[in-house]
Amino acid sequence: MDIKKLQAVVVDALEDVKGQDIVLFDTTALTSLFDRIAVVSGTSNRQTKALAASVRDKVKEAGGDVVGLEGEDTGEWVLVDLGDMIVHIMQPAIRQYYRLEEIWGEKPVKLGAAKRKSTAEGQDADAPKTKSKHLAANQDQPEAKPVRERKAPARKTATGAAAAKKPAAKKIPTGGTVKVAVSKTAAADAKAAKAAKAAAPKRAKAAAPAAEGAAPAKKVIRRIKKTDE
């Protein structure tokens, strides 16, 4: 029997006898002995035995094989071996103690997918769920289009325009002689000194004639009178 059909038959058989807390796990990645494991709780020994009998009868009616049935004598933990699937029917205290969900519960299977599609409950589980249009997250969103960013042209500032008009500084070759312009004060002083130097001979010549026209120095001659002898 197909594994999906088998798990649907098992879940229906357990729900017919009001099994509590039905869980189903996919164990293909954990062991090669079986592909599915089901765990269900029964409130009494009578109910656990009834759950096991329901699974056995439903599987045989669907054309499946029942490999073995264990634990019917006590009813605290009844195990139904279906070859590709193992069903554990346990009372709540035993189930809480052994915690099979922690061992095999790596990959749970939704019960809606395991139910028969012929039933109304199975059809409701398989039918796609409608989304409310009142929520913004469920509304159809328009397809997003890529936005192309345009680069704005660079603006010329006053400082940038002045810098563009200003001529580039002349490069001075290394190792050459650099001429430094003379300041205005130094030029004026040099010009005054040159003029004074040129005017000095003229003043000397003007002073010479004045010295020649001056009266010569008087010579005093004393006469000595001779006495008669």
Question: Amino acid identity of 160?
Answer: G
pLDDT one-digit tens code per residue, 202-225: 665 655 555 455 555 555 555 555
More confident residue, 128 or 19: 19
Q: CB within 8 A of 25, min separation 6: which ones? A: 36, 37, 38, 39, 101, 104, 105, 106, 107, 108, 109
pLDDT one-digit tens code per residue, 30-63: 999 999 999 999 999 999 999 999 999 999 999 9
pLDDT(123) > 60: no
pTM exceeds 0.85, yes or no: no
The separation between CA 135 and the C-alpha centre of its own chain, rounded to angstroms, equals 29
The Cα 57–Cα 69 span in angstroms is 12
The Cα 50–Cα 55 span in angstroms is 9
Classify residue 221 by its DSSP letter. Answer: -
- Joined together, the tokens standing for residue 123 give 């059809």
The Cα 96–Cα 102 span in angstroms is 11
pLDDT(229) > 50: no
CATH architecture under which domain 3-126 falls: 2-Layer Sandwich (3.30)
pLDDT(160) > 60: no
Half-sphere exposure of 220 (CA within 13 A, CB side): 1
The Cα 97–Cα 169 span in angstroms is 93
More confident residue, 57 or 122: 57
* 3-state per-residue secondary structure call for 148-206: CCCCCCCCCCHHHHHHHHCCCCCCCCCCCCCCCCCCHHHHHHHHHHHHHHHHHHHHHHH
DSSP sequence for 56-95: HHHHHHTT----EEE-TTT-SEEEEE-SSEEEEEE-HHHH
More confident residue, 133 or 14: 14
For residues 23-30, give the mean pLDDT.
Answer: 94
Mean pLDDT of the residues in the chain: 76
CB atoms within 10 A of CB 89: 30
- Quick one: CA dihedral 63, 67, 72, 77, positive or negative? negative
Closest CA to 71 of 96, 101, 42: 42
